[in-house]
């Protein structure tokens, strides 16, 4: 396994940028490609979050959303999960319901 595989964005809505690339909007969570849930434990299928494997989740807790951002909400739990040091600790997996 690679060191701290980067998380991508899963968001509640999407828009198309001028270059034609899908971009996340609405509510943003972190998601690792290959998994079916966000880092905070939301099931992608149940919440209908869209996946953006080409968009890295690199938000920080200090990030400020501007009017240019189409994202209205960044999940603080996913920010915490991706900004934590010592990423080996993230292996805890949520139990299935
Ligand atoms: Zn989240």
Decide: residue 29, CB within 10 A, 0-12 exposed, 13-18 middle, 19+ buried: buried
Which tens digits make up the pLDDT trace of 48-67? 999 999 999 988 767 776 66
Q: Is residue 66 domain-resident?
A: yes
% of the chain with per-residue pLDDT over 90: 57
CA of 18 to the centre of ligand 1 (A): 27
Least confident of 1-10, 18-27, 63-72: 1-10
CA of 39 to the centre of ligand 1 (A): 6
CA of 47 to the centre of ligand 1 (A): 11
Quote the strand ranges of the chain, DSSP E. Answer: 8-16, 22-31, 50-56, 71-74
CA of 27 to the centre of ligand 1 (A): 9
Q: Is residue 94 domain-resident?
A: no
Domains held by the chain: number: 1
Q: Is residue 45 domain-resident?
A: yes
pLDDT at 8: 96
For residue 59, what are the domain limits?
8-85
Q: Is residue 92 domain-resident?
A: no
CA of 41 to the centre of ligand 1 (A): 7
Q: Has residue 26 got a pLDDT over 80?
A: yes
């Amino acid at each position: 396994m690679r060191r701290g595989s980067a998380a991508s964005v899963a968001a509640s809505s999407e828009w198309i940028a001028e270059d034609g690339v899908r971009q996340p909007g609405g509510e943003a969570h972190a998601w690792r490609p290959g998994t079916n849930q966000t880092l905070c434990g939301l099931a992608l299928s149940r919440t209908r979050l869209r996946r953006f494997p080409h968009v890295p989740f690199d938000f920080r807790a200090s990030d400020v959303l501007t009017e240019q951002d189409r994202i209205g909400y960044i999940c603080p739990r996913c920010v915490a999960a991706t900004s934590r040091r010592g990423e080996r600790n993230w292996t805890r997996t949520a139990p299935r319901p």
